[in-house]
Structure 1
């Protein structure tokens, strides 16, 4: 259907593609992957004809039609209702309908057999074009992708960029082109809509190319994976999980071949060096020199995976409870978001807040952050220090700062090298760290703001869609960082792979209530699907009416006040002692790592004994700190 042959495309002096090849068959479902900046979106634009190749050819079958969903469509505006915009997919039918309406209008005042005959032919054509069902088809897709029935006749202009993108996706799906190209479609979809699109694309009659950083989406949609790497298009005949296994196998074979070739090269070079001065061996030497020159060099495998090589720490340990919401309600005018709901976050909770858009996830995140007024009680726990990452946090970046300067001013206490390591993980390396914030793209600013959040001294993180604009490597870095993080966090995300790796509790909003599932995302999904299947068969029992008993809480006595004062003093002393021991521990670790000590067994053994004793004392003091903090919390709750 489409053949890409010896494609080369240059940006400045840099080759984005060089003699790249790829073939797209009529029913291919292709996941196009690769690091940010490698040219995935550029390839789609080359196929679409927006860009022209420098050399090579992109050949298409005569009957091949292409539908392209890209981020540029976010700016599209119209005063038409969204169902009308979506029906633009049926251009011939819509044009015919307009002709029919004009003739019907004329027939009201100038009846003639000629007009009646023309109307009859147009109605026949309209029926042939399946025009009578086009509105129903448009409504079905729009509702499947997340719009309510009431939304369908609202003007497109009234919707945000993400929702406008959904309308354009609906229009493309209705057009049913031979090749459907989607650039990061899941960035603007919630979980129910993502699942709906997955199912639609799996059964799509034409070919599909999807650029996405959502692993689960790629696994569920693609039957072929093409990686953009080193200017080439490397194909794998399977989904993303297959690609990971197959790539590892290919890299192992390549690395073995590289090492064998290097060994052969060294042997050949030693022979040449040894016998180049001997006339009797001149012919053999020349033969080996020519063999080396003709040899096709095998490239060494470059490991583009990354591991977190820095630790996230904070000086102040929080109490047992982080945030406590009791009988909280939130509404905007007549729109209720939450109604008389209660829930708590405890130390060590790693919570993923999931669900459909419009349910109030971001609002709940702001409530937890204390940035949104509510009816009811919101209590922040002892020693809780929060950091909040959301798209609007980008506005707090100081635009005249360089990237490294922005992180240095964040007050984390990390060295410049440590901050460079952090920025390197988020794809800012070498001279990139000296770029001004004001010249960065939206995605780059997001990565800076995310890095800034993660290096803070916060023991409670609130993250709103942190994986948007991150490629697989950066997403993996974030997963590792959150897995190592010793504090608590709440993350809003529609990225199922990401959520499955970092959460030990799942929150969702249902019937204006915050609901909790006390387990991983995979366990939650199994439970949800099982529940949905059983609900379809059996009507659920009516919930029993719970009568709440009013409990009179004890008031603080003078002795409680005195005890509280004593405990706070003890806590301060424990914190000072813990800080001293932590400093001592770091010093001892550095001493043991120094070559002078490491190579001297007696010195190393002596420091090791002191180190073990320090760790033991530190654990003991930390345990006492927790007991004291809980005692303080118990008195303060009276």
Structure 2
């Protein structure tokens, strides 16, 4: 057991967040905390890492257990380069490395068995901690979060706050705590990074406790679900899908037991009423009264109905041809991508591609928030555009929630507006809250309510599920599934993509369109059977170079594999020399040997990085 929490309670002022929370974390367990926004998931994480203290209850940490939490990851110096900062995650490895160098100096003048054994022991520890590969590991993790070799040597202060958060996550992963706490780790990551993180967490050698609204991530990573509802924790063994099924079954069985108990109570109450005034049966009636008083009453756990209930409709039908995009070059100061595709009525196109390729830029260009660099696009007849901006969660306004909707629907009565807001979970006095006082999730719900009232027949959605909890995501999916219009959307939520998209726009230097669902897209891509939509295929000079480019890439990959094999062999030979008297008895030669070993490690890291880059390009072809 790494950590145990028993019956903890936590309140903030008059608000009780956790009432009776219990959790046991064992070696290698992957635990997910689930529940509505505000239920106490993050609070529990903060208690686990001692950032918060519970009002009641007990917490037991195993001796020496290290708990790692992203919010507690600090940078030693902001004028450090990223490389220097990430190295601090390997302080133990580097300390042993320093001891190895010192011991090598000692061996130069004292090659006794005792000193040799000490050197061998240090080397064994160093190898057990993967010391010869730690820089390779550091680069591997760093690059999988969308960074480059050039970024590794930049000062930390040159990065945005969002980028520094990703760097802090890299540092946390590299530090390998005994209990890894992750709070929404997939936020702002592209799908490739999410899939890599998914695999990393699944194979993480120690315990992980995570909070995520990414259902596919939860399904593929978690082997235990802890639900927090009304401040109380309930444990479910299995992944998220199993939890949903088990919860539904539990509610069903509980309701059946509740009905049976109510029938029994009614039967006993009828007996009491029948016999309580008869002298010869008064004792019997009294015993039944006491029986009911002692009865442990079952609470009817009905499914939670406090969920968003949206319904998107089209005000006008619009034409069959909705949107045509031809050789549209998008970007700001340079071209990010060249895009061509068409949309007809009823299609739902999901946009995928790595971060920075221009997915949000495309949406902004199509709503004319930024100009196109070249090319053109046009909309069909009577097309009304509804736009959801991913920055909706950060909007600022002194208007109330009620007045915000009234601005765009002044013809509706207050009752009609309040009914609409209620379907988006704004009830009673909440409608009089200022927009500035809303949480990110509440601001997103308000933006979706505005979108619903507009009744547009084309929706351009940029990350509509960001900041939404899982029940609200599912309610949005249901609403959009019943929508008769056309949708073009960006999302990093793979479950949302799988449920919503019937076409895929894959963005890169040039665009590719596939007439399939997201699940089919992934399956065919893995099998190498993915074929572009004939009507949307883009013929460009770069696409005609594909076969030549692929051959050159393949040749380079083959050469890199040969170089890596030779470099690994050279490294092993150099390491063997450490135990030759010619070296360990000569301090200067040992220093020169260590320098050669370091150079060889750098050579391997360089080849490995280039090999991974080229392999990714090959897989994309």
Give the TM bin, normalised by the shorter chain: 0.7 to 0.9
Please report the TM-score for the alignment, with normalisation by the length of structure 1.
0.75
How far 1:239 moved relative to its partner?
Answer: 0.2
Q: Which residue of 2 aligns with 1:378?
A: 377
User: How far apart are 1:150 and its partner, in Å?
Assistant: 2.5
Deviation at 1:191, TM superposition (A): 0.3
Q: 1:520 aligns with which of 482, 507, 517?
A: 517
Cα deviation 1:418-473 (Å, max 9, x = unaligned) = 54444344443332222111212233222222322232132211111111111111
Q: Residues 242 and 386 (structure 1 numbering): CA distance in 2 closer, same or farther, change over 3 Å?
A: same
Residue 204 of structure 1: how far off its partner (Å): 0.8
Mean CA deviation greater in 321-330 or 74-83: 74-83
**Inter-partner Cα distance in structure 1 for 2:75 and 2:184:** 16
CA distance in 2 between partners of 1:160 and 1:243 (Å): 38
Structure 2 unaligned blocks of 5 or more:
532-541, 547-621
1-structure distance, mates of 2:222, 2:229: 19
Tell me how far apart the structure 2 counterparts of residues 425 and 184 of structure 1 sit (CA, whole Å): 26
SS in 2 for 1:6: strand
Residue 501 in structure 1 maps to residue 499 in structure 2: yes
Deviation at 1:505, TM superposition (A): 0.9
1:388 equivalent in alignment to 2:387? yes
Structure 1 contact 412–457 (Cα < 8 Å) conserved: no
What secondary structure sits across from 1:185 in the alignment?
A: coil
Pairing of 1:556-595 with structure 2 (within 5 A): none
Distance (Å, rounded) in 2 between the aligned partners of 1:309 and 1:175: 43
Cα distance change, pair 157–420 in 1 and its aligned pair in 2 (3 A): farther
Distance, in Å, in 2 between the alignment partners of 1:544 and 1:153 is 36
Aligned mate of 1:350, from 348, 351, 374: 348
User: Which residue does the alignment assign to 2:582?
Assistant: none
Deviation at 1:132, TM superposition (A): 4.8
Secondary structure at the aligned position of 2:319 is classed as coil
Deviation at 1:170, TM superposition (A): 1.2
Between the aligned partners of 1:269 and 1:377, the Cα distance in structure 2 is 77
Structure 2 residue aligned with 1:225: 225
Displacement, 1:355?
A: 2.0
Offset, 1:364:
0.8
Rounded to whole Å, the distance in 1 between the matches of 2:306 and 2:172 is 37
Q: Does 1:368 align with 2:369?
A: no
- The answer on whether the counterparts of 2:393 and 2:443 sit within 8 Å (CA) in structure 1 is yes
Q: Does the alignment pair 1:470 with 2:468?
A: yes
On the 8 A contact 1:76/1:164 being kept in 2, the answer is no
Structure 1 residue 329: deviation in Å?
Answer: 1.8
For CA contacts below 8 A with separation 6 or more, give which structure has more relative contact order.
Answer: 2
CA contact (8 A) 1:198 1:217 kept: yes
| Deviation of 1:396 (Å) | 5.8
Between the aligned partners of 2:101 and 2:421, the Cα distance in structure 1 is 61
Q: Which position in structure 2 is the counterpart of 1:29?
A: 30
TM-score, structure 2 normalization: 0.77
Q: Any idea what SS the aligned residue of 1:507 has?
A: strand
Structure 1, unaligned runs of 5 or more: 108-112, 535-541, 547-638
Distance 1:412 1:199 in 2: 51
Corresponding pairs, count? 524
How far apart are residue 491 of structure 1 and its match? 1.1
Distance 1:373 1:533 in 2: 32
Q: Residues 53, 344 of structure 1: CA spacing in aligned structure 2 closer, same or farther, 3 A cutoff?
A: same
Measure, in 2, the Cα distance between the counterparts of 1:488 and 1:477.
Answer: 18
C-alpha distance in structure 1 between counterparts of 2:315 and 2:236, whole Å: 47
Distance 2:316 2:130 in 1: 67
Task: Tell me the SS of whatever aligns to 1:324.
Answer: strand
Q: What residue is the counterpart of 2:239 in the other structure?
A: 239
